[in-house]
Amino acid sequence: MDNKTPLADRFPDDFIFGVATSSYQIEGATREDGRGPSIWDAFSNMPGRVYQGHNGDVACDHYHLWEKDLDLIQALGVDAYRFSIAWPRILPNGVGAVNDKGLDFYDRLVDGMLERDLQVFPTLYHWDLPQALAGYGGWTDRNTADAFANYASVVMKRLGDRFDTVTTFNEPWCACHLSHLLGIHAPGEKNREATVRAIHTMNLAHGLGVQAIRAERSDIPCGIVINAMSITPATDNQADIDAAERQFQFDNGVFFSPIFDGKYDDEFNEALGELLPIQEGDLATINQPLDFWGFNYYTPVKVADATHSSSVFPHTKNVTATNRKDRTDIGWEIGAHGLSDLLTQVYKRYELPPVYITENGACYNTDIGEDGKIHDEQRTAYFEEHITECAKIIEAGIDMRGYFAWSLMDNFEWAEGYKMRFGIVHVDFESQVRTIKDSGYWFSELSQTHRANADAKEGSDNDVVADDDFEV
């Protein structure tokens, strides 16, 4: 336990350590209690879209096991739980009649969190768009922005009095670029015009959503979560430096600049601005003041110039590391420096509010050993390296308020199905048995050491739970 103290002591006393999940990845019960279908229900049941035809019909069965899962989070001794609310549980058709049974579920969940002294960090949208809205164009249709604002209002009216913060969107890059340009995520489209339209609609939905949230609960801190790409040029050549800037504008600037500066970047505008369906007043609506923003970080990106006669904006190509030892099991390069590089860059470019690391973690498919335990040393090393980087960036003057490990437990990993495991808790998807991994114990000890040290400064005594004290 003592080895956690030096790292824990580097964080402010009010710093939050938490765990994160999302609705479609863990809840299951996709056809129960009035929930409508989402685009991921449709996508994952299409042949060839998801690894081995896996889907979220059962997932981690959190819809039925939520009390045990909250007990597990409490046993881990973290401060907060970041989760998402399933839009199709609340409004099965995206608009229209409200499904009270869906709200009832989140009522129970939030109350259960409060009973266990967990801070409540909900996200309103983590990719499970109601399928009915997809029939009208989904995120390429401007009306979806109004539908989202209505949904945000419904949630805040019923649940907002118990939230500690609220986030509009999780990773808009994935919901736009992966979903409409690369075709990897639902709805599986490969169309640049659709991608640009989705970017603007989602930005507009964020702005309208913030307005709706504050109309119901002006006292709840509000933000957005961006999986900003930490982009560096492949060489010191000016062509590669320029390429990295174009890639930044295409991946990051399309969200940061309208949300925090009220505009789209010049080179992006010059290349693709004619595809943006901007109406008068849109940019002012998008540019709502925020109380915080969330940064999801996993891997750095390196790009080189790829300008030629047939290339399209941003005219780049990715340059990947060749050493497989420096990658996780999903193939992502490891580089904690990317976390601080990106934060340093965006705080120079924009006037930003405080930040939370809302997701950070690693995919290692370590199974249960003969001793009944999961010895995932690589994940523990990943956490230690990246959390140390967080301490450095705080010491450098950036106002970071918390860190959420991704993920609480192994779950449905989107197009990878159940093949890839990010959890600090192992899930046997047949039996639904949860087993805390070594990385989970490490993270738990860090969080509890931090809390105990903070409490000790206030004159209170808070025991830290050891491995043998867990009962799950």
Give yes or no: 359 in active site: yes
| Amino acid sitting at position 384 | E
> Would residue 71 be called left, alpha or beta, if left means φ above 0 and alpha means ψ between -120 and 50 degrees?
alpha
Read off φ and ψ for residue 78, nearest 5 degrees.
-85, 170
**171, 216, 384, 389: the active-site residue:** 171
C-alpha torsion angle, residues 404, 409, 410, 412 (rounded to 10): -80
Element (H or E) spanning 125, and its range?
strand 119-125
Strands (DSSP E) found in 220-331:
222-226, 230-233, 292-297, 300-305, 316-318
User: CB–CB of 415/185 below 8 Å?
Assistant: yes
Angle at 333 between CA 417 and CA 320, to 5 degrees: 110
Element (H or E) spanning 41, and its range?
helix 39-44
Strand order in the sheet with 300-305: 230-233, 300-305, 316-318
**27, 245, 267, 359: the active-site residue:** 359
CA–chain centroid gap for 18, Å, is 13
Can you read off the two tokens belonging to residue 235?
Answer: 């060489």
Alpha-carbon Rg for the chain, nearest whole angstrom, is 21
Can you read off the two tokens belonging to residue 416?
Answer: 């990878």
* CA contacts within 13 A on the Cβ side of 452: 17
Angle between helices 62-76 and 438-457 (to 10 degrees): 50
Give the integer Cα–Cα distance in Å for 271 and 282.
20
Give the integer Cα–Cα distance in Å for 167 and 63.
21
Give the integer Cα–Cα distance in Å for 419 and 311.
34
| Amino acid sitting at position 158 | R
CA distances from 304 to 232, 233, 236, 342, 349 (A): 9, 6, 10, 18, 22
Angle between helices 143-159 and 192-216 (to 10 degrees): 30
- Cβ of 193: how many Cβ atoms within 10 Å? 13
Give yes or no: 445 in active site: no
Which residue stretches of 249-301 are H helix? 254-256, 266-272, 282-286
* Cross-strand partners of 317: 304
Tell me which residues are annotated as active site.
171, 359
